[in-house]
Amino acid sequence: MNLLCWNVRGLGKPRAVNRLKNKLRGVHPHILFLIETKLDKRRMEKVRRHCGFMFGIDVPALGTRGGLSIGWKNECDVSLRSYSQWHIDIEIKEESGIVWRFTGFYGRPEERNRAESWNLLKQLGRDQSLPWVVAGDFNEIAYSFEKMGGCVRSERQMFDFRDALQKCDLADLGFTGLWYTWEKGRLPSTNIRERLDRAVANTAWWELFPGYSITHLTHSISDHCPVLINTKGSSVSNCSIQKKPFRFESSWVLEDDLVERIKNHWETSDSQFPIRMTELGGILENWSLNKKKDRGERKKTLQRRLSDLMSADPDEESLAELLENATWKFEILERLFDDQQVKRISSIPLSADHRQDELIWKFDGTGEYNVKSGYRVLQQEDTSLTTGQNAQTHSNLSHCYAKIWDASLPTKIRIHGWKEANGAAHLMARLGRNLDSPSYWIEEAPAAVMDLVESEEHQLRSIS
């Protein structure tokens, strides 16, 4: 028997329902447990029946949060034990008459309410009279190695989870497939992965199904991966293929070579009209089977690549898989992200000109650095002269500068006056005050020179 547990993160859109149906076709579960359907009871029942599960229990969502559903096939003998917003507990009777218990579990997403989830699990675990398996999204990890990226999980949180499992005599069943069942963020800097979904069982269930298998499947409509439980150890059950009468599929008209295939047969066949139509039907059936085979191989290739991308750490090489000839690969985007994320990603403009990155100096129209623009930036950043207590001093100095430059004096005298106003004249007396900051040419100067104290009068004589 196959049981599929999946946190689908909403089934309100037709595309999400269609993708769920596609996943179910490849797995063929007898029992389906869905978490976070985000639908009311009437809409969820419609979706469940649309997926082929005529019998089931649907727990409505609270607004746009939560919602559980469990459905089973006609050949399954199932009876309900209890249910709530966080669990659905059923009994399953095998053809041999053996009865065992399955509980679909949804741990509270808020950390502050996690203790209520463990109390519910302990309450359900008081009855150990039947082989019991619990599966679903527990919203918690048992050990630190079950998480990669993000903040470190509190040891107390993980201990409380392990303690609840131990008191219920539940042990992890292990798995094959993807290591982490939940993922957030596709960029290396924001990527977080955790094993939040799992299956646990008591000793009696282990002994009843010693050849069981647990598989983490690839996914495309949720940030959680489906957990498949098979009591006989086979991950996928086979389905029989029955011969069907010929029917023209409306999707065939979308194929480019359909008209040419029909035209070639009609022009080359010498049979009468009824026989010619029968032959054409056989030709189209074979053509359709080949098309389906090609699409199936392509789907398997994409699923393998999707599995590789999800199991590997995100890097530039894996992110480049989303692009082809400067355009987004929507087929892969829609498998990896939800509708809103696909819309945001596809809105990012792409350039077909593959040039190397260049350094651009944004303070000049040419994009290149020059001394003039650099000096202008420094002036703009130096706001200390025009704010606070320095504002009045700056105004006085500006007035002084204007007087110096407007004076009817030789150019050298005006330059010297401007240097004096700024404290920039090269006087030995001024240099002597800065001897705490060693300078090569001062240290190497003769002692006779160092003893001289140059005055402003000497400076004015030298430039007159």
Give the CATH number, domain containing residue 133.
3.60.10.10
Give per-residue pLDDT as tens, 65-112. Answer: 899 999 999 889 999 999 999 999 999 999 889 999 999 999 999 999
Confidence of residue 321 (pLDDT cuts 50, 70, 90): low
The pLDDT score that the predictor gives to residue 244 is 53
> Are residue 223 and residue 306 in the same domain, yes or no?
no
The pLDDT score that the predictor gives to residue 3 is 94
Give per-residue pLDDT as tens, 139-152. Answer: 999 999 999 988 88
- Regarding beta strands 31-35 and 68-72, do their DSSP bridges make them parallel or antiparallel, or are they unpaired? antiparallel
> Are residue 150 and residue 263 in the same domain, yes or no?
no
Whether residue 442 is contained in a domain is answered as: no
> Are residue 206 and residue 282 in the same domain, yes or no?
no
Confidence of residue 241 (pLDDT cuts 50, 70, 90): very low
Whether residue 462 is contained in a domain is answered as: no
Whether residue 205 is contained in a domain is answered as: yes
Whether residue 304 is contained in a domain is answered as: yes
Whether residue 445 is contained in a domain is answered as: no
> Are residue 327 and residue 306 in the same domain, yes or no?
no
> Are residue 6 and residue 140 in the same domain, yes or no?
yes
Distance, in Å, from the CA atom of 131 to the CA atom of 269, rounded to the nearest integer, reads 65
Domain boundary among 355, 380, 408: 355
Q: Where are the alpha helices (DSSP H) in 114-201?
A: 114-124, 155-167
> Are residue 225 and residue 255 in the same domain, yes or no?
no
- Regarding beta strands 87-93 and 77-84, do their DSSP bridges make them parallel or antiparallel, or are they unpaired? antiparallel
Q: H or E element: which one contains 428?
A: helix 428-432
> Are residue 320 and residue 306 in the same domain, yes or no?
no
Whether residue 374 is contained in a domain is answered as: no
The pLDDT score that the predictor gives to residue 311 is 64
> Are residue 286 and residue 225 in the same domain, yes or no?
no
DSSP string, 16-83: HHHHHHHHHHHH--SEEEEE-----HHHHHHHHHHTT--EEEEEPPBTTB--EEEEE-TT-EEEEEEE
> Are residue 119 and residue 265 in the same domain, yes or no?
no
Whether residue 402 is contained in a domain is answered as: no
SS3 of the chain: helix, strand, coil, percent, to 5: 45, 20, 40
Q: pTM of the prediction?
A: 0.56
Distance of CA 241 to the CA centre of its chain: 38
> Are residue 302 and residue 347 in the same domain, yes or no?
no
Structural domain harbouring 282: 242-312
Distance, in Å, from the CA atom of 173 to the CA atom of 199, rounded to the nearest integer, reads 6
Q: What is the arithmetic mean of pLDDT over 275-298?
A: 81
Domain count, the chain: 3
Q: Which residue has the tokens 């991308």?
A: 309
Q: What is the arithmetic mean of pLDDT over 295-322?
A: 68
The pLDDT score that the predictor gives to residue 142 is 93
> Are residue 257 and residue 188 in the same domain, yes or no?
no
Domain boundary among 312, 339, 374: 312
Whether residue 420 is contained in a domain is answered as: no
Closest to 131 measured CA to CA, from 173, 179, 170, 84: 170
> Are residue 79 and residue 154 in the same domain, yes or no?
yes
Q: What is the DSSP letter of 211?
A: T
